[in-house]
Amino acid sequence: MVKQTIQIFARVKPTVRKHQQGIYSIDEDEKLIPSLEIILPRDSADGFVNNKRENYKFRFQRIFDQDAKQEAIFESIAKPVAESVLAGYNGTIFAYGQTGSGKTFTITGGAERYSDRGIIPRTLSYIFEQLQKDSSKIYTTHISYLEIYNECGYDLLDPRHEASSLEDLPKVTILEDPDQNIHLKNLSLHQATTEEEALNLLFLGDTNRMIAETPMNQASTRSHCIFTIHLSSKEPGSATVRHAKLHLVDLAGSERVAKTGVGGQLLTEAKYINLSLHYLEQVIIALSEKHRSHIPYRNSMMTSVLRDSLGGNCMTTMIATLSLEKRNVDESISTCRFAQRVALIKNEVVLNEEIDPRLMIIRLQKEIQELKDELAIVTGEQRTEALTEAELLQLEKLITSFLEDQDPESRLEVGADMRKIHHCFHHLKKLLNDKKILGKSSVSSEIKDRDHDCQDPLKEEEYKKLQDTLKQRDNEINILVNMLKREKKKTQDALHLSSMDGSELRRSQSSPFPPGNPEESQRTLLSSAPRQAQDASTFQPRSSLFHKKTGMREEMSLGRQEAFEIFKRDHADSITIEDNKQILKQRFSEAKALGESINEARSKIGISENMAVPSRPDPLEEKLRAQLEEEKRRFKLTLENSFLGQQANSPAMNSLDHMKSSPQTPKSQHERPRLLSNKSVSKRPTSSIPLTGDSQTDSDILAFIKARQSILQKKCKSFRSPVCSLNPKAAFSFAQPCPDRKGLCDDLDQQHHTIFTSFLRAETPQLCHQLAVTP
Ligand SMILES: Nc1ncnc2c1ncn2[C@@H]1O[C@H](COP(=O)(O)OP(=O)(O)OP(=O)(O)O)[C@@H](O)[C@H]1O
């Protein structure tokens, strides 16, 4: 709230004789508050002694002398008030002065020159200029034009143009609500969106005022005119609206009735006019007194209309128009006195904000409808009447704006009316279906476009190229499949051949010593036995592997079998395996030939397979051996006795006397030859075989016997050990299949090399011996 006294200005009307001496003076510098001094001219008729006051001084905010321009008046007086109105405050500018002092000229302006435009047109121009500059608010401007004549109000903006007298204009009456707010009935408000429209309204009001004017009734003199600009402003989206009114008031002439010298009707009018001005003065006086609680606004229509402007919520400015001629001095002083009282009035100005009643009504209506809908849902009373076309259209608009709204938080507010909710769902479904159909048609059109594109020569060439590439790929695939099949067939043939070789080997192993040349067999056997053992040992696990492979292949799909063959072929060790395979085959062939030669040798010397492993000594051989041993023993005894007889006295024998004193036991007898022999002979094991006495011969005999015993021992051990079986099948039986074929072959090679070497070492002397003793 802003507290502000009513601003008072003075304007002196130009006189015919400018700056009449001694009438008035303006002091602009007096303590920065201008003052107007009116000097009463001395009248000789009053006599020599004259005690009358000769001058009167009045203070104003500003005093405009005779040469003041209309523009200066607007800038200094009207413009600040217009700015307050634009800000939302009420404002009033009224001109007060005697008839002909220039009130109308100041408020409305003169018609002769454009520069004579008064406050109303200049303020309209300024306000619309500012409205165009400010886009932050939405402004609405309305114009009303009221004339008060003889306490009656008339609407000067009657558009009918039928008024020939003031009484033809619509009469305006005052209504007051419980809050003591004044409402003017029949006063039309006309919206003006531009300055031109507003000026047209001003022109219309002035025209009506002039038409109604008669020579007997000069409206401009005897009536009050109030031109009001109603300005509303609202920020976009806001329901708060600001209302401001600017009253531009041209009051009737304030001259005193007595001075007018009129009678009859004019006197009555003058009384009314003065009465209304009198009531205005009463209001002003009441407002200027601090302790007055009652302000007589209701005494006249004019004070009722200007209630806010006088001591209320308004920024009010008064222009005291003065015609400072000698004959008008008293009226001028009266005007200035009135102004001085007005200057004492303090107004309390506040912003006129309110909720837009139209928006309020819409909001309340919507709330009522929502409550009704909710109540219908709660009580189960659904409305069944069909929605109107307008309602359906409104709903579809809501759905469209809802779908177009990018805000994910947006909601489709249709209230609690089930009819509207159902319609929304149906409409959305329809939109979805339409979109699907549209999507399908667009897809089919795309396919058509694609087909059309294929007919393009460039596209066709590319298509043909792709087809050729596809054919080429098919051919490559066929070639690869055929290669795989051939590889598979090769692998199967190799497996078949290997299994056939294994069968042959097994057949040859069933008779490892077939008849043939024994020597050749023995020689060949010595050189090839390890290889044969290696081949055979390699074959057996490979054969079992083949079985396993076959089983695995039976389980594997054709594709996996082919993949396995490719894996084998491409494996890093495949070449080594192939080489080993060839070596094994070669060794197998050599062993096979050796076995055949051995068998041939055996058949030639007549050794059967049973003879090779005698279960017990031959009786004939034992008998002959015993005879031979007996003969040898006798021979040795005879030789020994003769030798002892010849050497009985020799010194060498003396050293052996203790041996002689010992009883002659077979053992001692057996040891004698050893004692008689050289040092090497003495170390030899005890034997029952009679020695010849010849050291060389005996040494040979003992070496032979030792070797034979050793061989026999080994042979016996060999017969007891399954590893040393002469049957290669038995030897193969302990060799377990090894995933590492090369390692397995190496192990078996070494193992069987040892076995065969032992076997041959053991068997060769026996064979020789058998050959020697066998008839
Ligand atoms: N400041 C001024 N400069 C030039 N001419 C003026 C000025 N003031 C008034 N006049 C002229 O004086 C005449 C009377 O002025 P105006 O009609 O404005 O007086 P008024 O106070 O309105 O009288 P009324 O009370 O009868 O309406 C007009 O012709 C007007 O042009």
Annotated binding residue 110: no
**Centre of ligand 1 from the C-alpha of residue 189, in Å:** 28
* Span from the CA of 162 to the centroid of ligand 1 (angstroms): 28
Q: 508 pLDDT band (50/70/90 cuts)?
A: very low
Q: What DSSP letter does each residue of 714-730 carry, written as one string?
A: HHHHHHH-GGG-S-HHH
Task: Confirm whether residue 103 is marked as ligand binding.
Answer: yes
Q: Which of 220-229, 235-244, 282-291, 450-459 has the lowest mean pLDDT?
A: 450-459
Mean pLDDT along residues 515-541: 41
Higher pLDDT, 467 or 660: 467
- Is the Cβ–Cβ distance between 383 and 262 less than 8 Å? no
Closest ligand 1 atom to Cα of 221: 26
CA of 99 from ligand 1 middle (Å) equals 8
104 annotated as ligand-binding: yes
Cβ of 101 closer than 6 Å to ligand 1, yes or no, is yes
112 CA: nearest ligand 1 atom: 31
* Better-scored residue on pLDDT, 40 or 500: 40
CATH architecture of the domain with residue range 2-44+51-355: 3-Layer(aba) Sandwich (3.40)
DSSP symbols for 564-581: HHHHHHHSTTHHHHHHHH
100 assigned ligand-binding residue: yes
Q: Is 109 in the pocket of ligand 1 (CB under 6 A)?
A: no
Q: pTM score, two decimals?
A: 0.51
Regarding the beta carbon of 419 and ligand 1, being less than 6 Å apart is answered no
Give the C-alpha separation, 735 to 743, whole Å.
Answer: 12
Ligand 1 pocket test, pick from 16, 71, 73, 104 with the greatest ligand atom count within 8 Å of Cβ, gives 104
252 CA to middle of ligand 1, Å?
A: 12
Mutate to test the pocket of ligand 1, among 11, 13, 67, 99 (most ligand atoms within 8 A of CB): 13
The ligand 1 atom at the shortest distance from the C-alpha of residue 97 is 21
Q: pLDDT-based confidence at 663, cuts 50/70/90?
A: very low
Q: Give the whole-angstrom CA distance, residue 762 versus residue 709.
A: 10
Break the chain into its structural domains and give their ranges: 2-44+51-355, 357-443, 475-605, 619-640+666-773
Residues 6+ apart with CB under 8 A from 758: 714, 718, 724
pLDDT digits (tens, 9 = 90+) for 382-395: 677 888 888 898 88
The DSSP symbol for 766 reads H
Residue 97 assigned ligand-binding role: yes
Which range among 354-368, 554-568, 603-617 shows the weakest confidence by mean pLDDT? 603-617
What is the CA(151)–ligand 1 centre distance, in A?
A: 24
98 among annotated binding-site residues:
yes
**Residue 121 CB less than 6 A away from ligand 1:** no
Quote the Cα angle for 758-760-761, to 5°: 65
- Whether residue 351 is predicted with pLDDT greater than 60 in this model: the reply is yes
Mean confidence (pLDDT) of the chain: 74
With vertex at residue 543, the alpha carbon angle to CA 541 and CA 548, rounded to the nearest 5 degrees, is: 90
Please give the ipTM for the structure prediction. 0.97
Please tell me if the CB atom of residue 108 comes closer than 6 angstroms to any atom of ligand 1.
no
According to the model, what pLDDT value does residue 708 have? 75
Using an 8 Å Cβ cutoff, are 65 and 106 in contact? Answer: no
User: For ligand 1, atom 6, which residue shows the shortest CA distance?
Assistant: 102
Paired tokens of 658: 């203790």
609 in helix, strand or coil?
Answer: coil
Tell how far the Cα of 14 is from the centroid of ligand 1, in angstroms.
Answer: 9
b/e code 321-341 from CB counts within 10 Å (16+ = b):
bbbbbeebbebbbbbbebbeb
Mean pLDDT calculated for residue range 337-357:
86
Q: Is the CB of 253 under 6 A from ligand 1?
A: yes
Distance 256 CA to ligand 1 centre (A): 18
Residue-level pLDDT at 38 = 87
Is the sign of the CA dihedral 479, 482, 484, 486 positive or negative?
Answer: negative
